[in-house]
Amino acid sequence: MSKIKTWMPLYIGDYLADTASLSTLQHGAYMLLMMEIWRNGPIQNNPRRLSRVAKTDVQTWEDEIWPELQDFFTVVDGCLDQKRLRAEREKAEEISKKRADAAAKRHASKQNACKTDANAEQMESNSSANAHANAEQVHSKCSASGHANDIQKDTQSQSQSHSSLRSEDVGCNRAAEIEKPIADRWQELAEDVIAATGNNPARSMVRADCVRQWLADASARGYSFETATEIILGTVREKSRFGGKGKPPAWFNSPVTQALASGTIPSAHIVGNAPKSRADRVADAWAGVPDIPGV
């Protein structure tokens, strides 16, 4: 079932102002009709069909309910519809689509990162194999020619070339590691933060600029965007349960700042050091390759 079908916005002030003259029976029928239209679209304008949706009989529908409710609806192509409800549904669908697209982009980005890491590991393996092959070739030349000085010069030259290639390889990998700063991705997180505070992102007018600063702090501490998101949302959700529900994001500034400083994800686990980048992992891999005499 679509998430949109599981909830419907209700602006209580507007609703009570528009329906002040309705009876209890009419209120119930009105709500049931709006929920049916929200979930399944316009309803066929037929008394028998409408009375079933309103959970009443046709006689009661025609005598006590419909005369008071008919001004709240419009009939389009023989079906009962509600203008405000349709506008809210379209807005909710647009927001849902944007979030789905953003999630798909993040998933694609993670897949590309995995492919890059796999290529880096292959390069590490090939470089290690070449290093051992060069070492064997150097020792063969030494035993065949007997010219120790000349061979020593050749060996030193190959060692310098190999070291240069290894340095360039790490440098290239570091260049590929450069990504968009996580602080520039704050808008991806802002809507989720607003929702975690108990506000409705679709109509909330609260400012969420503090999310940008939170991500800047997280970046300075070496966190990835995903880890920073876990810490920030975890803290906001926990504080919302204890007096923070409905507050603007800026209200959570102090606990979020403290959580980023300590690396704590509430009700989950303690975050350690930020994960190493691919370039750092390449450098660590080369550090583990034993030195070969003369190479």
Query: Is the pLDDT confidence value at 70 over 80?
Result: yes
CA torsion through residues 251, 254, 260, 263, sign: negative
Structure confidence at residue 164 as a pLDDT band (50, 70, 90): very low
Residue 158 lies in a domain: no
Per mean pLDDT, which range of 69-83, 89-103, 270-284 is the poorest? Answer: 270-284
Please state the rounded mean pLDDT for residues 196-202: 76
Overall size of the chain counted in residues: 295
Q: Which structural domain range is residue 257 located in?
A: 182-264
pTM for this model (two decimals):
0.35
Residue 249 lies in a domain: yes
Rounded Cα distance, 199 and 177, in Å: 36
Q: What does the mean pLDDT of the chain come to?
A: 75
Taking every pair of C-alpha atoms in the chain, what is the biggest distance, in angstroms?
Answer: 115
pLDDT at 60: 95
Residue 259 lies in a domain: yes
Read off the pLDDT of residues 108-118 as tens digits, 9 standing for 90 and up. 887 777 777 67
Instruction: Tell me which of 26, 60, 81 is where a domain ends.
Output: 81
Please state the rounded mean pLDDT for residues 276-283: 55
Instruction: Tell me which of 81, 106, 125 is where a domain ends.
Output: 81
Residue 227 lies in a domain: yes
Residue 209 lies in a domain: yes
Structure confidence at residue 162 as a pLDDT band (50, 70, 90): very low
The count of domains in the chain is 2
List the beta strands (DSSP E) in the chain. Answer: 43-44, 74-76, 79-81
pLDDT at 274: 42
User: Percent of the chain beyond pLDDT 70?
Assistant: 65
Residue 256 lies in a domain: yes
Residue 106 lies in a domain: no
Read off the pLDDT of residues 201-243 as tens digits, 9 standing for 90 and up. 666 666 777 888 888 888 888 888 888 888 988 898 888 888 8
Residue 53 lies in a domain: yes
Comparing CA positions, the residue from 71, 74, 56 lying closest to residue 22 is 71
Instruction: Tell me which of 57, 81, 105 is where a domain ends.
Output: 81
Query: Is the pLDDT confidence value at 24 over 70?
Result: yes
> Residue type at 178?
I
User: The domain spanning residue 59 has which CATH number?
Assistant: 1.10.10
